[in-house]
Structures are given as C-alpha cells and as structure tokens.
Amino acid sequence: MLLCPSTMCMDFGQLEKEIKQLESAGIDIFHNDIMDGNFVPNITLGINDLKAIKRYTDKPCDVHLMIENPSNKVDWFIDAGADIVYIHPESERYVSKTLNHIKERGVKAGIAINPDTSIETVKEMLNYSDYVLVMTVNPGFAGQKYIEFCTEKVKRLAQMKERYGYKIIIDGSCSPQRIKMLREIGADGFVLGTSALFNKNKSYKEIVQKLRSM
Ligand code: DX5
Ligand code: ZN
C-alpha cells in the first residue's frame, strides 16, 4: 500500500522537520499538488517548493499538475526533480503524447481524473499510464467531502489493472475507514491529507503505523 502525504497540508514554516518526520514515519511518496488558479480555483505549490522538498528527502516526489496545458510545463517539474508526473486529461489536448514525453524523460507518468470524468473517455491513455490518480473530491482544496459515485470508478479501474499495468492512487478525503474499503476493492495507494494524517493529535509515525496495520 503506497502512502503519499499531500505536502500542501504540511507546515511550511518547519519544512525540514515535517519532511524528516514523515520520512521516518514510513511514507512512500511525497504528493505535491501544483495548482494554477485556472484549472482549479486555488494556487498552491510551485517549482521552488518542489526543489526545497527534494533537498530534504530521497523519497520519490510526484507532482499532481492541476494546471491548464501541462504539456509545455512538465519539463520544468521533471528538471526540478519530480519522479512521477500526473496530468489531467481535462486540461490537455494530446494526452498520450504528453504522457509519452514524460516517460521518455525517464520518469513515471500518470493521469489524474476528476470525479466527473468517465473511464470510457480515458481508456486509450491507460496504455501510457504507470499510475491512475482517481480524484474522489473536486480538485483544489483539502478537507472536502468524499464523492460516493467515485467508488464505482475505482472498482472498474481495478478490473482493468492487469491488462494495462497501472497502479491506482486515490486522491481526496482518504480517511482510515475509506482507505480500508478502497484497498479491499483494488486501490494501490492513497494521498493522505487532513482526513487521515494532518492536524491530528497523534504523531505521523503513530498514524502511518496504524494505517499499515489495518
Ligand atoms: C485535493 C488535494 C489533496 C487531498 C487532501 O485537491 O489534492 O491534497 O484532497 O486530503 P484531504 O481531502 O484528506 O484533506
Ligand atoms: Zn493531489
């Protein structure tokens, strides 16, 4: 099970301490939400944040590009150290071409699909996807409510996993109970935000150990 803390939820006032604590808690991938204020109504992390995070950890870092026209920007993030690049098919005209470019740069490629995006419309892209990030909230903000109809999408994607060879990561309102349920239907990993990890009165280590023991 891949546990991916959402870095936008961290206390950037003590970045190194947060990263080190999350690392020693046993997380797998740092999930970096990049938002441009156009594709989603919020602006969060940028290139310098990614570079700073990469300075403090050897763990893989992904970038979740919630930006318009990512094709001409993916190199900025790869050059800044991204190990996985997620693009939204809703924001890109030639998705497979961009996914292929990401892979040619030697890093992993993934599509991130919004709640309203049906699997039928992304099937061909799965040929180039190492990961599928299933948004279970409308992207842009932490602390939102889980959208129940997304569970069915996870089930459908799990049935196609063998054929295409991608991993399913869930992004949005991943509480411990929901992680358990979604893991049982085939999800491989989870973005951890305020629903499971941050702003709790327990250490990251305690929470991560508990999640892994479920
Ligand atoms: C949503 C963000 C995630 C996540 C945060 O756009 O990509 O950071 O929802 O986790 P929660 O939903 O648990 O606060
Ligand atoms: Zn995300």
Which of 144, 154, 142 is CA-nearest to residue 179?
154
How close is the Cα of 130 to the center of ligand 2, in Å?
16
For 182-202, how does the pLDDT look when each residue is reduced to its tens digit (9 = 90+)? 999 999 999 999 999 999 999
Give yes or no: 28 in active site. Answer: no
How close is the Cα of 145 to the center of ligand 1, in Å?
10
Q: Which of 27, 64, 134, 171 to mutate to test the pocket of ligand 1 (most atoms within 8 A of CB)?
A: 171
Going through 106-213 in order, the beta strands assigned E by DSSP cover 108-113, 131-135, 167-171, 189-192
For 12-69, how does the pLDDT look when each residue is reduced to its tens digit (9 = 90+)? 999 999 999 999 999 999 999 999 999 999 999 999 999 999 999 999 999 999 999 9
Burial of 109 (0-12, 13-18, 19+ CB in 10 A): buried
| Rounded distance between C-alpha atoms, residue 205 and residue 57, angstroms | 16
Does residue 114 line the site of ligand 1, with CB under 6 A? no
33, 36, 62, 130: which one is catalytic? 33
| Rounded distance between C-alpha atoms, residue 170 and residue 65, angstroms | 15
Does residue 171 line the site of ligand 1, with CB under 6 A? yes
Distances (CA, A) of 129 to 8, 86, 87, 141: 24, 9, 10, 25
What letters, b where the CB count within 10 A reaches 16 and e where it falls short, cover 189-204?
A: bbbbbbbbbbeeeeeb
Q: Which of 33, 192, 207 to mutate to test the pocket of ligand 1 (most atoms within 8 A of CB)?
A: 33
Backbone angles phi, psi at 157, to 5 degrees: -65, -35
For 54-110, how does the pLDDT look when each residue is reduced to its tens digit (9 = 90+)? 999 999 999 999 999 999 999 999 999 999 999 999 999 999 999 999 999 999 999
Q: What is the pLDDT of residue 153?
A: 98
Which chain residues have CB less than 5 Å from ligand 2, an ion?
A: 33, 64, 171
36, 49, 130, 171: which one is catalytic? 171
Give yes or no: 11 in active site. Answer: no
pTM: 0.98
